[in-house]
Structure 1
Amino acid sequence: MYPEHTPHVPVQRAVEVHQPSPYPPALPAPAPVVPVQPNAVPTVASIVLPDGHVVTGYAINPAQPEPIAAKPAVSRTAVNVALGGAGFLAVCGGLVLLTSFIAALTAFITQLIILAAVIFGGWIAVQIFSTRGHRSAGTTVNIRKAVIKRNHFHG
């Protein structure tokens, strides 16, 4: 027969009693951590458990949300328009100065040309009128009819 069908027969089982055992004292210091450059390799942490096992893993920093950018008091479009206006005014001022400089330079060159013409014209006038008033000791040649044939002068 099967033991399940045996009436009122208690089954004797061995009783095991478990007593809690204290953990051994923790080691004084965990394994040393080698410093690394930030943002290159994540930091590796080692933890020694009370039973002597060493657990090694990467330290996880909690994710921090991106800071919310504060809205500026003045819009960027207004700042760009103002800077564009200031730049335009600076360019206009420079163009006014440039045109004034070109006009002054043109007037100066014109005055130099007129002065040169007056001085040279005066010198020529002195040369012409000084020889008519008196005869110089030089030779005077009067050419009345000149004939030029084949690039030769016949007088």
Structure 2
Amino acid sequence: MTYPEQPGAVEVHHPQPITLHAPAAPLVPMQPGPPAVQSIVLPDGRVVTGYALTPAPAPAPIEQRPAVSRTAVNIALGGIGFGAVCGGLFLLTAFIAALAAFIHQLIILAAVIFGGWIAVQVFGTSGHRDHGGTTVNIRKAVIKRNHFRS
């Protein structure tokens, strides 16, 4: 490979600026009657023909919604109500537990008193009880035939 000592003529290419605002293409008048066909003449002379586009209908107005949905508000209020009821339920269960303990103590007290009364009746100091029959004092009885003397 050999290189020339002096470079040859250099070509410099400058880019063409792009115009952002191109002139509008002239419109060919529309033909009357359906279907509406529209033709546009481009700047270079070409003609583009096609059906006219009907503008899109305006969207229905969006219903204004509140910042917080009703469902969220209902859930929050239900949680607050449940929290308020829980305190009352806790007090109710504590009251029921205290009442049950009180009744339990009364039953035990009644059993102790009644059991003590029965014990006194059974193991009392009198030794025996009168059931309405004839009382015989064996110590003072004298049986002569068997020679039993007390």
TM-based fold match above 0.5? no
TM range, smaller chain: 0.3 to 0.5
The two structures have a TM-score, normalised by structure 2, of 0.38
Bigger relative contact order (CA 8 A; separation at least 6): 1
